[in-house]
Amino acid sequence: MMTADVSAAKVAAAQNGDRKALEEVLSSVEDLIHSLARRILVNPEDAREATQEILIQILTKLSTFRNESAFSTWAYQVAVRYLIAAKKHRDRDLGLTFEMFAADLETGLISDPPEAPDQALLLNELRISCTMAMLLCLSLDLRLAYVLGDVFELDHLEASKILELTPATFRKRLSRARASVEAFTSRHCGLVASEAKCRCPRRLPAAIKGGRIQAGTYPNSAESRMGYAQTRRQIDAVVDDLKTFKLQRSVPSHACPDDIRMRLRRILSPEL
């Protein structure tokens, strides 16, 4: 998930008004910020809006960076503070619980469903969207700890710094989140548990009927390097306590949308 961090010299040049350096500094964190927003907010449009707002904050707050950590760590801190404080996103939280999600997954299952056109693409979209939505059942503080610690696999000291927690508190939150996600998937996700009622092929007709998945539209899996069948094989190949980890890690890292990149470049270079 992490990329090579931008150099302190490059950040210093950006802080001193070097426009090219500023573009490079921004480019170094754009994808990281958007990927974080997608995993925390899940809804693509909410994530796009949050990504733009966070990147603008990074631009306007750049002078406050004191080189006391990696630049990406500081950028993540800006992002986390925004995600915690943004009332407009909190107000859209569905209040989803694991119990509610389990009941929804088991509604409308078809034991022998007909194969749909673009079946492989639809199954992959359903697999990714469901895996991401699962994390909405966690409270925001646990969700942040889980995404940074287990999904992005950040060092625990770095993750605790980003969340402005003691390492012990971070580890406690991560442990609680991990236990909740693993307990849910081990009972209700057919990709992880062979005895689970919900399986993507059985769930697909209801997901299409409910408008959650649409043929020809694959916003969650467009950047996925692995299809449904390959993901299933990889999960089947690992031991039980790693299946949930493999499931969550199989979601693609979503790159920052090009229109947001261009909008920010116009802010930097209004004459272009």
pLDDT > 70? residue 271: no
pLDDT bucket at 134, cuts 50 / 70 / 90:
very high
- Of 148, 152, 150, which Cα lies nearest the Cα of 163? 148
pLDDT digits (tens, 9 = 90+) for 153-203: 999 999 999 999 999 999 999 999 999 999 999 999 999 998 899 999 999
Q: How far is CA 90 from CA 11, 40, 50, 85, 179, in A?
A: 32, 11, 12, 8, 24
User: With contact defined as beta carbons under 8 Å apart, do 240 and 65 qualify?
Assistant: no
pLDDT at position 217 over 60: yes
Q: What is the DSSP string of 208-259?
A: HHTTSSBTTB-TTTTT-SS-HHHHHHHHHTS-HHHHHHHHHHTS--PPPPHH
CB 250 within 8 A of CB 226: yes
Task: Give 262's contacts (C-beta < 8 A, 6+ positions apart).
Answer: none
Q: Which of these, 130, 100, 93, 132, lies nearest to 207 by C-alpha position? A: 130
Global pTM value: 0.89
Residue 28 clears pLDDT 90, i.e. is over it: yes
What are the pLDDT digits (tens) for 80-112?
999 999 867 766 676 889 999 999 999 989 988
End-to-end C-alpha distance for the chain, whole angstroms? 32
pLDDT score recorded for residue 222: 73
Which pLDDT tens digit goes with each residue over 234-267?
888 887 778 898 899 889 888 899 999 998 888 8
